[in-house]
Amino acid sequence: MSNKDLCDSISTKSSDEFYSPVPEGYKKGKTKYVIITGSVISGLGKGIFTSSIGKLFVDRGLKVAPIKLEAYLNVDSGTLNPFRHGEVFVLDDGFECDMDLGSYERFIDMSLTKESFVTSGRIYKRIIEKERRGEYLGRDVQFIPHVTGEAKKVLRELAVKSKADVIVVEIGGTVGDYENMFFLEAVRQLRYEEGEENVAVINLTYILEPSSVGEFKSKAAQLGIKRLIELGIQPDIIVCRSQNKIPDSIKEKISISSNVPVERVIGSHDVKNIYEAPLFLRNLCVDEIVLKKIKLDKKFKLTDSKELIDWTKKNMVSSDKSITVGIAGKYTGLADSYISILKALEHSSSLINRKIEIKWIETTAIEKGKAKVENELNGIDGLIVPGGFGTRGAEGKIECIKFARENNIPFLGLCYGMQLAVVEFARNKLNLKDANSTEINPKTSNPIICILPEQEEIEGLGGTMRLGGYDLIVEKNSLAFELYGKTKVHERFRHRFNVNPSYIESLESKGMKFSGRAPQKKIMQIMELPEKEFFLGTQFHPEFTSRPLNPNPLFLGFAKACKKRKEK
C-alpha cells in the first residue's frame, strides 16, 4: 500500500492501529495547517507570531482559524493564578483560556470560541469519558493511537466548524517538555496523514547573545531544533528570535544543522512595538514562504502592503507627550496579569496621540501600612482598579478608590474594581462603616456586594461564574450612553458577586447612578458618579472586547479624561 493510499484510508475504528478519528464532513486537503512550535526558552513570542501570521493571511483574503494546544492538565484556564500564567482571557462563549487568544482576537479582529483552545487536561477528559461509555470496545486506551488521535480530531473538528482555509496551530511550551510530547507526536502524524503539501511546521527558536561573550551563540538553538527533528518533525521554516539583528553566519549555522534552506531561516529581532510585527514579517516574506509551502501562493497572491502599513501607523503614537495611569492591584509583579487592560490602553493611546505610562500600585502594601495611598497615587492622571478575587489587597484598593473619588481623579473600576467602589461609597457616603462584600467578609451586617442568586448552590470554583458575552441596557442621559452612543451593548463577564439590590435605592439617593443593567433583571452592570469628571465602574470586562483600531469606548473615554486632566 502506498503512503497516499494509507493516508486516504485513515481508520476511525478504535481497535485499529491507524485509529485517527475524523469528524463528519471532513475532507483531506481542503484545509491547510500551519504548526508553530518553540525551542530553547519559553516567552519567545509565539503568541504574537501566531497572531501576526494570522493577520497576514487574513489580509490576503484567507479564512483563518487559530488554535492553541496548551500543555497543562487543567481543563481550562479558569482556576490559574495570574502570577503563574498571566491573565485569564474570557471568550464570548464563556470559555476561560490563555491570554494568547486575546492576542489572536485583537490582531485578526475576530471573536473566537472554545474550539480555539485545548489543554492536555481537556484531551484526557474527552478520552476518559469515551472509555467510561465503552466507546473503545474493550481496547486498552493508549497514548498512541488514542490520545494523539483525539488531538488530531480537535484540529479537524475546528477545520470543519470554521470552514477555514488555514488552521494556525500554536503548541504551548517548549520542544522537549514532557507535557506537550503527545501534541508534537500528533502533529507528526497529522503531516503524515494529510500530506506534506498540506502542513507547514514553523519553529521559533532563540539565539543567545551573552553579554560576557559579546557575540551571538547558536548552539542552544541548534540543539533545540535537533530535538524537534528527533521527534520525527522536520521544520519547514525556522524563525530565529533575538534581541538584536543576527548576522547571516548564524542563519547559515542553523540551516546546515537543521536541513532547512537558508532562505527559510528567518531572523526576527525585537521591534519597538508589537503592532510592527505583521509588517516586519511581511517585509521578510514569511507569509509568502509559508503559503508556497502549503501550495496556496497561486490562489492567494501577495497583496498591496499599503493597508498593512496604514494599520501599523494608526497603532503608533507620534507624540512624545504622555499621561500616567495608575493600576492598583495585587498581581502588579507580573504585567501579563493585566495584559488586556494594557492593550486596551494602547488602543486608546493611538487615538488620543499620547503615550500612556503605567504606574503599578501594589495594594497589599497600602493595606499593610507599608505604603501611603497619597504617595502611591501621586502624579497619576487616572486610576484603574482591575478585576480580581479574594481578600488580599482589597482594603488597599478601597483606599485608592476613596482617594481618587475625593480628588476627582478619573477612575475606571473593572468587575471587582466596581464592586469595591460601591463598597467605598457605602462606607463613606451612606456612613455604613462595616459595608463590605460577602466575598471579603461573609458575616458583614451590610452586604453591599453579595453572591449572585444563581450561584448560591454551587460549591466548586472552575467554570461556575457568570462567564462570557451578555447584553446589557444602557440608560440615556448617562456617561455610559455618551461613550457607547447606544442603549444596548454586548460585553464579556467573569464574576460571581453583584451589587445587592436592597441597597440600590440608598446608593442612588446619595448620587450614585447605575446606568447599565441586565435586561429584565435587577442586576447592576455599570456604575458612575455624575458629579465627577470621570468615575465609572463596570461589572463586565471591557478590555476583552477592545481592538487595535477600535478601542472599547469606555477605555477611550477614560483615556480622554486622563488627557484632559493632564492638560489642565
Which residues are known catalytic residues?
415, 541, 543
Cβ 70 vs Cβ 98: under 8 Å: yes
Cβ 103 vs Cβ 52: under 8 Å: no
Q: In 3D, which of 341, 322, 344 has the Cα closest to residue 332?
A: 341
**What SS3 string covers 195-231?**
CHHHEEEEEEEECECCCCCCCCECHHHHHHHHHHHHC
Please give the C-alpha separations between residue 244 and each of 203, 238, 290, 312, in angstroms, as whole numbers.
19, 17, 24, 21
Quickly count: other Cβ atoms within 10 Å of residue 133's Cβ. 8
Return the bridge partners of 64, or none: 166
Kindly report the length of the chain: 568
Residue identified by cell 498540506 is: 198
Nearest-5° Cα angle at 220, 215 to 224: 145
Residue identified by cell 507569509 is: 287
Cβ 474 vs Cβ 519: under 8 Å: no
Residue identified by cell 476627582 is: 408
CA–CA dist 94, 338 (Å, integer): 19
Residue identified by cell 453583584 is: 498
Q: Which amino acid is at 327?
A: I
Cβ 325 vs Cβ 383: under 8 Å: yes
Cβ 437 vs Cβ 423: under 8 Å: yes
Q: Which amino acid is at 67?
A: I
Strands (E), 145-288: 166-171, 199-206, 237-242, 265-269
Find all residues with CB under 8 Å of 60, minimum gap 6, and list them: 287, 291, 300, 301, 302, 303
CA–CA dist 554, 559 (Å, integer): 9
Specify the pairing of strand 237-242 against strand 89-90: unpaired
Q: In 3D, which of 431, 427, 430, 385 has the Cα closest to residue 404?
A: 385
Q: What is the CA radius of gyration of the chain?
A: 26
Find all residues with CB under 8 Å of 336, minimum gap 6, and list them: 82, 86, 87, 99
Cβ 151 vs Cβ 186: under 8 Å: yes
**213 is written with which cell numbers?**
561573550
DSSP letters along 377-393, please?
A: TTT-SEEEE----SSTT
Quickly count: other Cβ atoms within 10 Å of residue 456's Cβ. 9
Give the single-character DSSP code of 455. G
